[in-house]
Structure 1
Amino acid sequence: MSADGILRMIEENGIEWVDFRFVDLNGKAHHISLPAVEVGRDTFVNGVAFDGSSIPGFKGVEDSDMVMMPDTETVYADPFSAHPTLIVMCDIYTPDGERYDRDPRGIAQKAEEFLQQTGIGTVAYFAPEPEFFIFDDVRYESGMNKSYYEVDSEEAFWNSSRKEEGGNLGFKIRHKGGYVPVAPADTQQDLRSEMCRIMMESGLRIERHHHEVATAGQAEINFRFDTLTASADNLMKYKYIVHNTARQYGKVATFMPKPLFGDNGSGMHVHQSIFDGDTPLFYRQGGYANLSDTALYYIGGILHHANALLALTNPSTNSFKRLVPGYEAPVNLVFSKGNRSAAIRIPVAAVTPKGCRIEFRTPDSTSNPYLAFAAMLLAGLDGIQNRIDPRELGYGPMDRNIYDLSDAEKRDIRSVPSTLDEALDALQADYEFLLQGGVFTREFIENYIDLKRAEAKSVQIRIHPHEYSLYFDC
């Protein structure tokens, strides 16, 4: 849509406000709202000013003026505002008109440009599958003298004996027993359907929704694949709708990877493929799982750089509470067809040549999607350019349930890092592939590592409640 088209939409639909948004390094959206009567053609030429020093990891106070430049292709009506409002995603520029090299959306766009420069293909498609929990109550505190969290859900198995007004109605979902049950066990069918309705009205193409494996309201809604930057935009829209629809129902949604101890966590499996025009480059009939050599090299790049990638695809201390064996967590750095115990799964059911793709199962939704998708693409392209064959490096294929292998059989299978610090160490040692095409810069990576080190340390130095259980009576 052009700027003139947006201005016509404002006039024809009685729009009162235009909400301009950008995304910080952690993947959180920020916004500034302008009265619609103050938005004109010059707004789309000159942009909207904001203070970069108030955004962690952006600018210092001595050089803080920054500009949001609206992307007119991203506009949609805010489904939650009481006053008619349009939402527009923006790119970040410096006052002299240069793209800001720490703008995550700009990094995603540069990754797409680099793909075309390589001559390998013209477009990369991404399809994230974010999982999330819907709770009825959440409470937490981290202070000098106390630290705790508590969440609750009407369908949680720990409430099977709770006395409620009118009696306990039962049908609680057992631990690891939540995969696609029908009502009354699944209490959130209507809520997920409402989320999907709003997503579709806001421009997302929804494929399906269902309850996920864990107790206490774990959910998944799948939306249609798109190009790299567009998929990241869609994920930001998706999370905004999930959070706010849950709140309208008096509930709270979280994409935190591991909010519950002893049950499955929430991941964000990411499907990926590359096309040259209309020609899919990952398909070759008769190959392993009908994969082409290009696809195998792409897999090799991701698995070869996986430890470093995780600093961008799983960038929280909580991420590594999910990445432990025994909870369907993809901790094994191998690939396999149809095998959910591998870090990379090749979907094989009802797959056409154009649907041939790889699924990297390790990422989660604490990642910034613009940075995570860009990093995955660069790792895969590095694999293609350097012909990194995963079969020759011991990355599979592994067509067995890896969780059932003996320790001796698993000895040669690489696993993901066990902490955020280990992933940051890996990124510090292996980031040259991210510099290709000027997509990431050394300065960006150094700044990112410093921010995440501070985050990890803030958790490391705090007393954990479980330490009282272990050591108070020493």
Structure 2
Amino acid sequence: MSANSVTSIKEAIKFAEANDAKMIDLKFLDFPGTWQHLTIPAHRLDEELFEQGMGIDGSSMRGWQSIAASDMQVRPDPTTARMDPITKLPTLSFICNVFDPITDQPYSRDPRYIAQKAENHLKETGIADTAFVGPEAEFFIFDDVRYDVTPYSSFYAVDSQEGAWNTGRNEGPNLGYKLGYKRGYFPVPPYDSLSDLRGEMAMTLEKAGIVVDVHHHEVATAGQSEIGIKYNSLLKSADDLQWFKYIIKNVARRHQKTVTFMPKPIHGDNGSGMHTHFSLWKGGKPLFPGERYAGLSDTALHFIAGILDHAPSLLAFTNPTTNSFKRLVPGYEAPIKLAYSSRNRSSAVRIPMVQSSPASKRIEFRTPDPSSNGYLAFAAILMAGLDGIERQLDPGDPVDKNIYNLPPVEADKIPSAPASLEEALACLVEDHDYLLRGDVFTEDVIESWINYKFENEIEPTRLRPTPLEYKLYFDI
């Protein structure tokens, strides 16, 4: 029995026995989307664990309960059973759903529950029964990272043996092979010094049951990389993305390296995006191929129109950090204009044309980045696209030119993405009814997300001086 074939509690227990699991790890997400976990001995794995779960302090989780109502439960989903490829002891991992022990209902701010509701809502609309999602999460592999923020000082410093800034460093000896800025796309070793490490990451992902499509160096200097994984249904793809981040970080640490999914860790070079591929299927048949532009159906074009129409508010979930908007600037391949096109990587939505099979027809939303919570981001994208289908929105004409090089008169006619997280959140305040349909997102979730982002990210960023401001203004 493979992990992907586990469908019931009894099968999950048998899977643990067959793999001689010594420990059971229960993983769950906080509101922003970072995995948390607790571990119990394997002898505690029984049917009651799946039904009653384990108690946790919800007030200690970011964006969750107040201390006056802190008791919560995490209940393992048996279908998520996977042997953890990182731990020394044989450990069976489950991803958990979060429940309120008083009402015995799923917790409204559990991101995984929101993704589950999105899938259910899709079926209830009758438009489709499955949304397939394929995220391409880019990341940097650094040799060293240091940072600190105090009331009287702040700094960050990252380093990589590949870094363009290290051509003159005394490495005893320095052998060269440093990747220049924007010169990192597809070089072979020795310039690509991380090929073997990414290969180990890929094999570890496959050991966990995640199918890898490709791995390669990305555009930026200093170890920017990508490992492509196979698409999956919306909820499973979000689960896979959590495993992806967990495995990539831990394999890097084995080699005394560190990984960041921060969208823009280096000034002056490309940031890390998470181009997200979407397609809708019904009854085993794809709904996006057709006879319209780029081989798309009307359904696909309406889906694109929904994404573009709601993009300003959508970015509050797909690009949810202040750092996200340091990537969304001209000159670094990040799409800042809300247009669509085939093959054109300067548009926010691209229709890949590399395959002719109808089953491969999909749209690629290029704006998201890997700082996002996959469950919330994928659910929000789906809800925006469904709104476009239900309202039969028209995406307008495609833009088949390099948007970065358009004359200002033409460029100004194309709507732009928000320029800051604060602006995206303001758009979310004004435009979120499409997210509430089917009770997928709730007013509580929207309000809590906005408040959390303002209180914990926007306000602290706004209030603190930066090293650059000292350089600009100290001797003013």
Q: TM-score range by the shorter chain?
A: over 0.9
d(CA) in 1 for partners of 2:62, 2:282: 38
**Residue aligning to 2:78:** 72
With 419-428 and 76-85 compared, the bigger mean Cα shift is at: 76-85
Contact 2:12/2:79 (8 A) holds in 1: no
**Residue aligning to 1:177:** 183
1:303 corresponds to 2:305: no
With 152-161 and 42-51 compared, the bigger mean Cα shift is at: 42-51
**Residue aligning to 1:10:** 16
**Residue aligning to 1:227:** 233
Q: Secondary structure at the match of 1:283?
A: coil
| Deviation of the 1:112 alpha carbon | 0.6
**Residue aligning to 1:419:** 420
1:386-465 aligned within 5 A: 386-391=391-396, 396-454=397-455, 455-465=457-467
1:142 corresponds to 2:153: no
1:120 corresponds to 2:121: no
1:83 corresponds to 2:89: yes
Give the residue type in structure 1 aligned to 2:300. A
Q: Secondary structure at the match of 2:409?
A: coil
d(CA) in 2 for partners of 1:10, 1:349: 41
**Residue aligning to 1:276:** 282
**Residue aligning to 1:469:** 471
Give the residue type in structure 1 aligned to 2:161. E
Q: Please point out which of 349, 363, 379 is paired with 2:354.
A: 349
Give the residue type in structure 2 aligned to 1:383. G
| Deviation of the 1:7 alpha carbon | 2.1
| Deviation of the 1:65 alpha carbon | 1.1
d(CA) in 2 for partners of 1:448, 1:351: 40
1:303-322 aligned within 5 A: 303-322=308-327
**Residue aligning to 1:203:** 209
Q: Secondary structure at the match of 1:164?
A: coil
Residues 233-288 of structure 1: per-residue CA shift (max 9 Å, x gap):
0000000000000000110000000000000000000000101111111110x321
Contact 2:32/2:63 (8 A) holds in 1: no
Give the residue type in structure 1 aligned to 2:450. I
Residues 394-446 of structure 1: per-residue CA shift (max 9 Å, x gap):
xx300000111111111111111111000000000000000000001111101
d(CA) in 2 for partners of 1:290, 1:223: 25
| Deviation of the 1:4 alpha carbon | 2.1
**Residue aligning to 2:3:** none
d(CA) in 2 for partners of 1:275, 1:267: 26
d(CA) in 2 for partners of 1:232, 1:260: 27
d(CA) in 2 for partners of 1:463, 1:317: 15
1:293 corresponds to 2:294: no
Q: Secondary structure at the match of 1:32?
A: strand
Q: Secondary structure at the match of 2:252?
A: helix
**Residue aligning to 1:41:** 47
Q: Secondary structure at the match of 2:93?
A: strand
d(CA) in 1 for partners of 2:357, 2:20: 45
**Residue aligning to 1:243:** 249
1:54-65 aligned within 5 A: 54-65=60-71
d(CA) in 2 for partners of 1:405, 1:431: 32
Contact 2:111/2:375 (8 A) holds in 1: yes
| Deviation of the 1:117 alpha carbon | 0.7
Residues 156-190 of structure 1: per-residue CA shift (max 9 Å, x gap):
1110111112x110111010000000000000000
Q: Secondary structure at the match of 1:11?
A: helix
d(CA) in 2 for partners of 1:111, 1:79: 30
Give the residue type in structure 2 aligned to 1:93. F
d(CA) in 2 for partners of 1:12, 1:237: 22
Q: Secondary structure at the match of 1:437?
A: helix
**Unaligned segments of structure 2, at least 5 residues:** 1-5
Give the residue type in structure 2 aligned to 1:367. S
Q: Secondary structure at the match of 1:305?
A: helix
| Deviation of the 1:14 alpha carbon | 2.6
d(CA) in 2 for partners of 1:403, 1:443: 39
Q: Secondary structure at the match of 2:383?
A: helix
Count the aligned residue pairs.
468
Give the residue type in structure 2 aligned to 1:456. I
d(CA) in 2 for partners of 1:91, 1:401: 44
d(CA) in 1 for partners of 2:18, 2:375: 33
d(CA) in 2 for partners of 1:406, 1:398: 13
Q: Secondary structure at the match of 1:175?
A: coil
d(CA) in 2 for partners of 1:281, 1:3: 34
Give the residue type in structure 2 aligned to 1:8. K
Give the residue type in structure 2 aligned to 1:22. F
| Deviation of the 1:83 alpha carbon | 1.6
Q: Please point out which of 306, 330, 334 is paired with 1:329.
A: 334
Give the residue type in structure 2 aligned to 1:445. I
**CA separation of 1:298 and 1:42: change in aligned 2, threshold 3 A:** same
Q: Please point out which of 334, 339, 343 is paired with 1:338.
A: 343
Residues 213-247 of structure 1: per-residue CA shift (max 9 Å, x gap):
00000000000111000000000000000000000
**Residue aligning to 1:374:** 379
Moved over 3 A (4+): none
| Deviation of the 1:3 alpha carbon | 2.1
| Deviation of the 1:351 alpha carbon | 3.3
Q: Secondary structure at the match of 1:113?
A: helix
* TM-score, reference length from structure 2: 0.97
d(CA) in 2 for partners of 1:103, 1:465: 37
The root-mean-square deviation of aligned C-alpha atoms, in Å, is 0.9
d(CA) in 1 for partners of 2:74, 2:432: 28
d(CA) in 2 for partners of 1:229, 1:203: 15
